[in-house]
Structure 1
């Protein structure tokens, strides 16, 4: 069982202002509790015992909330997604681990929970990263500019959209990565996308299609849409 996870929670959340003028985006509540708490509850239910969270914007709020429940790394400067995970590798160990966006929000589908489905499709000998994907047309809070991220090739391998005008799947904020992915990676800030591109070129980037709802909460308007959704349904 994968028992370690990294939650990316350092971003400024500029598009969510004025809410993020007073708190980090992952602490904005949806459905009665902060988005970060939804994520931690999912991880705990899966059996994850080692949780690492990075923080920068209003970092003290995340430190106070997670005291005793997670290792919080306060970044003096933003390291982007790849740089943040690389910086946390000493705490993440030498086995595969989950990487989740702190503002990611989803509901599990009718079968197994999403984390179970991801882990069930993970094979360290032929994967460096496994991404949870959501069909573009099913994204709750989709914006007109959203064009998708990936195509799925035979045997679950992924191909980045690149210059294509549209692709059918978006990255849905959850992945499994292994330390090998970070070999020869840059120091300082860099994006995980850079390493996923390399894994794709080596045939070691794969995906799993999520079978439940997934929310893109990029703006206050999208937040309102998510709140309405949760008021109408019991969170799953």
Structure 2
């Protein structure tokens, strides 16, 4: 089994409740930022990174997402009757993704600077890592409040704490998903197991990142695209 990630899971099943009226009749992944849907921004990152096996999960207003992707080389993992969250959704999509570690990417963010998937690929070391999360310093996380999700040690291992925000992009070995008994669950459960094994790592995105989880995030993301922040050294 290859330890080089060759497939990507793009999460597009969520209800987008924080978007309020904007997602009453439109899935969050189809909200436009800078003239195109969030989902297309995410797929463009996969295209540039050369990831050919792509899977998108759907649940809320699934037909809209699936119609948008019709005729494109993207597999659909439809979650019915219940939404499965990130962990359950990834596990359900594994037959489409294939064996070995995979990229996962949330579709509700906008990026500037280096391609986040390429950066993860370059930093991935399967001899040490079970997951590699892409992070941004909390003070550079547009559209996001709070002190952060993780702290990074000098060797790149991460633990729960303040300082860095998870961007929604990672490489992960999904093997441990088989040990979780719930049907619907967050990937946080798998990360916590990996952290206990000292195999949870992080790397820092050098460009801009904006969470488009709330209506005001749309304008913030478009302003960032028009005037990208300086790259981290």
TM-score normalised by structure 2 residue count: 0.91
Q: CA deviation at 1:91?
A: 1.1
Q: What's the counterpart of residue 170 of structure 2?
A: 175
Q: What's the counterpart of residue 50 of structure 2?
A: 47
Distance 1:72 1:6 in 2: 10
Distance 1:60 1:198 in 2: 35
Q: What's the counterpart of residue 159 of structure 1?
A: 159
Q: What's the counterpart of residue 192 of structure 2?
A: 197
CA contact (8 A) 2:5 2:171 kept: no
Q: Unmatched 5+ residue regions in structure 2?
A: 229-233
Q: What's the counterpart of residue 105 of structure 1?
A: 110
In structure 1, which of residues 30, 37, 40 is the aligned counterpart of residue 40 of structure 2?
37
Q: CA deviation at 1:18?
A: 0.7
Residues 42-65 of structure 1: CA distance to partner in whole angstroms, max 9, x if unpaired? 101111111011101110011011
Q: What's the counterpart of residue 57 of structure 1?
A: 60
In structure 2, which of residues 16, 28, 31 is the aligned counterpart of residue 28 of structure 1?
31
Q: Please, what is the CA RMSD of the aligned residues? A: 1.4
Moved over 4 A (4+): none
Number of aligned pairs? 223
Q: 1:10 and 2:5 equivalent?
A: no
Q: 1:72 and 2:88 equivalent?
A: no
Q: What's the counterpart of residue 89 of structure 2?
A: 84
CA contact (8 A) 2:112 2:225 kept: no
Q: Unmatched 5+ residue regions in structure 1?
A: 162-166
In structure 2, which of residues 211, 218, 221 is the aligned counterpart of residue 223 of structure 1?
218
Q: What's the counterpart of residue 100 of structure 2?
A: 95
CA contact (8 A) 1:128 1:181 kept: no
- SS of the residue corresponding to residue 155 of structure 2 reads helix
Q: How does 1:112-191 map to 2 (within 5 A)?
A: 113-143=115-145, 146-161=146-161, 167-191=162-186
Q: CA deviation at 1:187?
A: 3.7
CA contact (8 A) 1:129 1:181 kept: no
CA contact (8 A) 1:139 1:214 kept: yes
Residues 59-87 of structure 1: CA distance to partner in whole angstroms, max 9, x if unpaired? 00110111232111111111010000001
